[in-house]
Amino acid sequence: MSTLELTEMECMQVQTENVILMPSGLLGFEDIKRFILLTNEEEAPFSWFQVLDDPSLAFLVVPPFDAVPDYQPEISDDDIKYLGIKKPSDALMYNIVTLRSGHATVNLKGPIVINRFTLRGKQVVLQNATKYSVRHPLPLANSGEF
Amino acid sequence: MLVLSRKPGESVVIDGRIKVKIVRLDGDVVKLGIEAPPDIPIHRQEVYDEIQQSNRQALQSKPAAAPKLKEPKSKDSISDRQNVETAGLAA
C-alpha cells in the first residue's frame, strides 16, 4: 500500500468519525441522513454541509450569529430533548444559504441544530418561525462575483 | 384521502403509535393534539412547504466557491435590512 493510499484511508477515518447523523434528513430530503461539515479558513464564516454518500451534493451553511447578529432562535423543548441538548453550548447551529444570480439569502426559519458531542442533528422549525424569513438577504462583499 | 368524522375529545390512531386528537373547535379553527414518537417530525404544512422549497433551491449539485460576507457594520444596519424585508413581504 502506498503512502498516498494510507493518507486517504486516514482521511476517510477522520471523516467517518465526524459524520453528522440527521435521522430525519432535511425537509424535502428526508432520505439523506449522513453529512459531514467541511470548513476551511478561506471561506469563513461559511461551511459546506456535504452529503456523505454523494460528494457532488452539498449545502452552503453559515452560523447565523455571524451573519444576523440579532437572531433569536427559539427551539422547542421536544427538539432539545430529541437532540439530547442539556445547555446552549452543547449545540451547534447552522443555517442554509441559497445562492442565486449574485445574491445570497439565508433560511432563518429552519436552522440545522447539531449536538456537538453526539453529532446528532435536525433541521428544526423554530417556535418563533413566523418572525423570520426563509430568504433573509445576506450582505455580501463580492456580490455578483460568483 | 381517508375522511373520518370526529367530535372534540375523540381521536384517531395511526399505525398504533401516532394519536391525533381533536382538542377543541373554536369557530373555524380546529385545535389538534398529536402524540407521536420523538423521531417523527410534525410540521404545519405551509411551513414545511416553504422550508422544503428553500432547501431544494439551496442544494448545490456542484459545490461552488462560497461568497464573501460583508463585515457587519452595526446592529442597526442589519435590523434596518430586516425591516425593509418585512415591509416588502407585507405589501
Distance CA A70, CA A6 (A): 46
Q: Please list every residue in chain A whose beta carbon sits closer than 8 Å to the beta carbon of residue B64.
A: 99, 146
| Three-point CA angle A33, A71, A52, nearest 5° | 15
User: How is residue B78 written as a grid cell?
Assistant: 442589519
One pLDDT digit (tens) per residue for chain A, 146 residues: 444 454 554 455 445 568 999 999 999 999 999 999 998 888 889 999 999 988 889 999 999 987 888 999 999 999 999 999 999 999 999 999 999 877 899 999 999 999 999 999 999 999 999 999 999 999 877 654 44
Indicate yes or no: CB of B55 within 8 angstroms of CB of A96: yes
Indicate yes or no: CB of B69 within 8 angstroms of CB of A69: no
Give kind and range of the element (H or E) at residue B14. strand B11-14
Asked if the C-beta of B45 comes within 8 angstroms of chain A's C-beta atoms, the answer is no
Indicate yes or no: CB of A142 within 8 angstroms of CB of B68: yes
Distances (CA, A) of B33 to A24, B30, B48, B49: 21, 10, 18, 21
**How many CB pairs below 8 A link A and B?**
128
Residue A24 belongs to domain with CATH number: 2.30.290.10
Q: Please, are residues B14 and B20 in contact by the beta-carbon 8 Å criterion?
A: yes
Indicate yes or no: CB of B85 within 8 angstroms of CB of A29: no
> DSSP letter string over A87-128?
SGGGEEEEEEEEEETTEEEE--SS-EEEETTT-BEEEPPPTT
Q: Please list every residue in chain A whose beta carbon sits closer than 8 Å to the beta carbon of residue B85.
A: 133, 136-137
Indicate yes or no: CB of B51 within 8 angstroms of CB of A109: yes
Indicate yes or no: CB of A46 within 8 angstroms of CB of B67: yes
pLDDT tens-digit map of A112-138: 999 999 999 999 999 999 999 999 999
Region B72-91: mean pLDDT is 43
pLDDT tens-digit map of B28-80: 999 999 999 988 999 999 999 999 999 999 998 765 677 888 776 554 444 44
Indicate yes or no: CB of B63 within 8 angstroms of CB of A56: yes
Q: Please list every residue in chain A whose beta carbon sits closer than 8 Å to the beta carbon of residue B61.
A: 56-57
- Partnered with residue B12 across adjacent β-strands are B20
What is the pLDDT at residue B72? Answer: 60
Q: Please list every residue in chain A whose beta carbon sits closer than 8 Å to the beta carbon of residue B66.
A: 43, 46, 48, 60
- E strand map for chain A: 20-21, 34-38, 47-51, 58-62, 91-100, 103-106, 112-115, 121-123, 136-137
Q: Which of B34, B35, B46, B55 is the best substitution to test chain A (most A C-beta atoms within 10 A)?
A: B55
The complex scores an ipTM of 0.82
CA–centroid distance for A93 within its chain: 7
Our count of domains for chain A comes to 1
pLDDT at B89 over 90: no
Distance CA B31, CA B82 (A): 32
Residue B84: which pLDDT band, with cuts at 50, 70 and 90? very low
Residue B7: which pLDDT band, with cuts at 50, 70 and 90? very high
| Owning domain of residue A96 | 2-143
Distance CA A30, CA A94 (A): 18
What is the pLDDT at residue A5? Answer: 52
What is the pLDDT at residue B83? Answer: 41
Distances (CA, A) of A137 to A71, A133, B46: 13, 9, 21
What is the pLDDT at residue B78? Answer: 43
